[in-house]
C-alpha cells in the first residue's frame, strides 16, 4: 500500500475535501479515508500525522461516528477540526455540550499561545470560520487553551507534549484567512512533512507506476473527448507508447466538429487514436425512443457492444484505463455517500463485469482541477483543458423526445452559434456549462411576411464549482440577444429562443 504522509479521517463534513485541497496546494500529499478505516489499513499507509475532520453528528449521540480508539494511541500527531476536536475532548476525558445557540459564520481568532508551532507566522486576530452546534465545556487533563474567540472560549486547544491539536473553527475553508498556513504548520512543523508534492512529481510517479504494472502488455482506453479520458490517454501514452489502445466511439451524438477536434488533438500528440464511427447503429437503436432513462440505457448498452467489438480485434490487452476521479472514489466510500443514487445514471461509459480487464485508474487520487493541471503538465492545449463538461449520452439528452437527424441538426447549429457568441464575449471560461436544448415545442412566429410555426430552443448556462449544485448564469442581456437573433436568423426551423433560469436544485443541469 502506498505511503501517505497526512491521513484525513472523514466524519462526514461537507468541508472534508477542502482539507485535502489546502494541504496539496501547499505541496503536502494527503488522502481522505472514512472514519471507520481499520487500524491495520491506517498503519499500512505509514502516516506522519492524522487529521480528524468535522462532521454533522454530536459526539455524545447514540449514533455518533467514532474511529478505532487505537488511532489515539499510535503516538502520531493529531489535529481535530470541529467534530474532530470534540472527539479528542471526549476521548481524553473532557466534556462536550450543546452550545446555547449554533455558531455559524466569521469570528476573530485571538491567539493565546503565540509560540505554539501551529500558529507560526499566523497573525493575531485573523478571521476564522465557525460552524458548530456543540462546544467543548471542560478541557481534558494535560490540554490547554491556545486560542479563543468572542463566542468560543476554546477556539483552539492543544496537548503540545503529545502533539495533539484541535480547532473549533474550520481552517480548511477560504473564509479562514490563515487556515492554509495553520494546516501547513501542522504538516511541516508538527508532523515533519516536507512540501515536495506537485503535479510534475505526481506525473513522473504515475508514469513509473504504470510502466511497472503494465510490463509488455496492452492497455485499452475509452476516449470521449472530455478532459479526464484525454488526460488518462496522454499519460498512458507517455508511459507505454504504442502499447496503448485508445478507442473513440463516435455515437453520432457529438457536437458539431467535435470528432475532428478530438482526432486532431491526438494526432498532435502522435497518439494513434482508433475512431469507430457507430453513429448509424446508435441512431437506429434510438428510433422512436422518447423516455430519457430508456435513451441512456440504449446508449450505454450500444456503447459497450461497439467498444467490445473493437477491443476484441486487438490481442494482448490485459488492462483497461479509466478516468475515475478522487471525488468519485470519496463519494462511494465516505460516511454517507452523498447523492449516490442521483448520480448513478452518469456512468454511461461504465463497463460490465464480464469485461475481465484489470483496471488502471491514474486519476483516482486527484481532484478535477488537479486533473486540469496535470493535463497542462503533459502539454495538452489550454482550450482542451478548459472545455465544459459534456454528458456521456451526448446530445441525445438535450433533445426532448425522439432523436432524429433533423433535431440533431437544430441542436448542433444552435449550439455552435451559442458557443461562438459566448467565447466572443469572453464569458466561456466563466461558466461551468452552456448549451442549447431542443424543446419539441412549436410556437407561432413571423419571418419576413410569413407566419411561421416552428421549433423552440432553450439556452442553458450555469455557474457551478463541481456540478453538484448550480445557479443559472447571469449573462448580460445583449449577449443573450445576439445569441437569440443569430439562432433565429441562421438556423432553419427555429423561430423562438428562451433562457432557462432554473438553478440546481430544484432543477438539474441537463434537461433529461
Which residues neighbour 274 within 8 Å (Cβ) at sequence distance 6 or greater? Answer: 245, 246, 247, 248, 310
Which residues neighbour 156 within 8 Å (Cβ) at sequence distance 6 or greater? Answer: 109, 111, 112, 118, 145, 146, 147, 148, 165, 166, 167, 168, 169
How far, in Å, are 74, 82, 97, 178, 307 from residue 135 at the CA level? 26, 9, 6, 22, 55
* Residue 510 DSSP one-character state: S
The number of helices, as runs of H, and strands, as runs of E, in the chain is 15, 18
* Interatomic CA distance for residues 54 and 51, integer angstroms: 10
Maximum alpha-carbon separation in the chain: 88
Q: Which stretch binds ligand XMP (CB under 6 A): 136-144, 186-194, 391-399, 488-496?
A: 391-399
Q: Which stretch binds ligand XMP (CB under 6 A): 156-164, 191-199, 333-341, 501-509?
A: 501-509
Nearest approach in angstroms of CB 314 to ligand XMP is 25
From 30, 82, 191, 458, active-site residue = 82
Nearest approach in angstroms of CB 371 to ligand XMP is 14
C-beta closer to ligand XMP: residue 296 or 412: 296
Q: Quick one: which of 113, 269, 387, 504 contacts ligand XMP (CB under 6 A)?
A: 504
Q: Which stretch binds ligand XMP (CB under 6 A): 82-90, 378-386, 404-412, 503-511?
A: 503-511
Rounded to the nearest angstrom, the gap between the alpha carbon of residue 264 and the centroid of all alpha carbons in its chain is 27
Nearest approach in angstroms of CB 391 to ligand XMP is 3
Footprint of ligand XMP on residues 426-445 (CB under 6 A)?
433
* Interatomic CA distance for residues 211 and 358, integer angstroms: 14
* Interatomic CA distance for residues 435 and 412, integer angstroms: 10
Q: Would you call 293 a catalytic residue per the annotation?
A: no
Q: Would you call 172 a catalytic residue per the annotation?
A: yes
From 91, 170, 237, 251, active-site residue = 170
Nearest approach in angstroms of CB 512 to ligand XMP is 8
Grid-cell match 507517455, residue found: 238
Q: Quick one: which of 146, 278, 392, 459 contacts ligand XMP (CB under 6 A)?
A: 392
* Interatomic CA distance for residues 182 and 175, integer angstroms: 13
321, 221 Cβ separation under 8 angstroms: yes
Q: Would you call 174 a catalytic residue per the annotation?
A: no
Map residues 342-371 to x or -, x wherever contact with ligand XMP holds by CB under 6 A: ---xx-x-----------------------
Q: Quick one: which of 173, 467, 486, 498 contacts ligand XMP (CB under 6 A)?
A: 467
C-beta closer to ligand XMP: residue 85 or 348: 348
C-beta closer to ligand XMP: residue 219 or 348: 348
C-beta closer to ligand XMP: residue 318 or 510: 510
358-360 β-sheet, strand order:
274-277, 244-250, 218-223, 317-321, 358-360
Q: Is residue 509 near ligand XMP by the rule CB under 6 A?
A: yes
31, 1 Cβ separation under 8 angstroms: no
Q: Quick one: which of 389, 401, 445, 493 contacts ligand XMP (CB under 6 A)?
A: 389
Active site residues: 82, 170, 172
Give residues in contact with ligand XMP (CB under 6 A).
296, 345-346, 348, 389, 391-393, 433, 467, 504, 508-510
Amino acid at each position: 500500500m502506498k505511503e501517505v504522509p497526512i491521513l484525513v479521517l472523514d466524519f462526514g463534513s461537507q468541508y472534508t475535501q477542502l482539507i485535502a485541497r489546502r494541504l496539496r496546494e501547499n505541496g503536502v500529499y494527503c488522502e481522505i479515508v472514512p472514519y471507520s478505516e481499520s487500524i491495520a489499513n491506517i498503519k499500512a499507509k505509514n502516516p506522519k500525522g492524522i487529521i480528524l475532520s468535522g462532521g454533522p453528528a454530536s459526539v455524545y449521540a447514540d449514533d455518533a461516528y467514532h474511529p478505532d480508539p487505537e488511532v489515539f494511541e499510535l503516538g502520531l500527531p493529531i489535529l481535530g477540526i470541529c467534530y474532530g476536536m470534540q472527539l479528542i475532548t471526549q476521548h481524553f476525558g473532557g466534556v462536550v455540550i450543546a452550545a446555547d445557540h449554533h455558531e455559524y459564520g466569521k469570528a476573530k481568532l485571538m491567539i493565546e499561545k503565540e509560540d505554539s508551532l501551529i500558529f507560526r507566522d499566523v497573525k493575531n486576530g485573523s478571521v476564522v470560520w465557525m460552524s458548530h452546534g456543540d462546544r467543548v465545556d471542560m478541557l481534558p487533563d494535560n490540554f490547554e487553551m491556545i486560542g479563543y474567540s468572542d463566542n468560543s472560549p476554546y477556539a483552539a486547544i492543544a496537548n503540545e507534549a503529545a502533539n495533539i491539536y484541535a480547532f473549533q473553527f474550520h481552517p480548511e475553508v477560504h473564509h479562514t484567512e490563515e487556515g492554509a498556513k495553520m494546516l501547513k504548520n501542522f504538516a511541516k512543523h508538527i508532523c515533519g512533512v516536507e512540501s515536495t508534492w506537485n503535479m510534475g512529481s505526481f506525473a513522473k510517479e504515475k508514469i513509473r507506476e504504470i510502466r511497472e504494472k503494465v510490463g509488455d502488455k496492452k492497455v485499452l482506453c475509452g476516449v470521449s473527448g472530455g478532459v479526464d479520458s484525454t488526460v488518462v490517454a496522454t499519460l498512458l501514452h507517455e508511459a507505454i507508447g504504442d502499447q496503448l489502445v485508445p478507442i473513440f466511439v463516435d455515437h453520432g451524438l457529438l457536437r458539431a466538429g467535435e470528432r475532428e477536434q478530438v482526432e486532431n488533438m491526438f494526432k498532435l500528440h502522435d497518439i494513434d487514436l482508433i475512431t469507430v464511427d457507430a453513429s448509424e447503429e446508435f441512431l437506429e437503436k434510438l428510433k422512436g425512443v422518447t423516455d430519457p432513462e430508456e435513451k441512456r440505457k440504449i446508449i450505454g448498452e450500444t456503447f459497450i457492444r461497439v467498444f467490445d467489438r473493437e477491443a476484441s480485434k486487438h490481442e494482448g490487452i490485459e488492462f483497461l484505463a479509466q478516468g475515475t476521479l478522487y471525488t468519485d472514489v470519496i463519494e462511494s466510500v465516505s460516511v454517507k455517500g452523498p447523492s449516490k443514487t442521483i448520480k448513478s445514471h452518469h456512468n454511461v461509459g461504465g463497463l460490465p463485469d464480464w469485461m475481465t480487464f484489470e483496471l488502471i485508474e491514474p486519476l483516482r487520487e486527484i481532484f478535477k482541477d488537479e486533473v486540469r493541471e496535470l493535463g497542462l503538465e503533459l502539454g495538452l492545449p489550454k482550450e482542451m483543458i478548459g472545455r465544459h463538461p459534456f454528458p456521456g449520452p451526448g446530445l441525445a439528452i438535450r433533445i426532448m423526445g425522439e432523436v432524429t437527424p433533423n433535431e440533431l441538426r437544430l441542436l448542433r447549429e444552435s449550439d455552435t452559434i451559442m458557443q461562438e457568441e459566448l467565447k466572443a464575449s469572453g464569458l466561456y471560461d466563466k461558466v461551468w456549462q452552456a448549451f442549447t436544448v431542443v424543446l419539441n415545442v412549436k410556437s407561432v412566429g413571423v419571418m419576413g411576411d410569413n407566419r411561421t410555426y416552428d421549433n423552440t430552443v432553450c439556452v442553458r448556462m450555469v455557474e457551478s464549482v463541481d456540478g453538484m449544485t448550480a445557479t443559472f448564469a447571469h449573462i448580460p442581456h445583449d449577449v443573450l440577444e445576439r445569441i437569440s437573433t443569430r439562432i433565429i436568423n441562421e438556423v432553419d426551423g427555429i423561430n423562438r429562443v428562451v433562457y432557462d433560469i432554473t438553478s440546481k436544485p430544484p432543477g438539474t443541469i441537463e434537461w433529461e
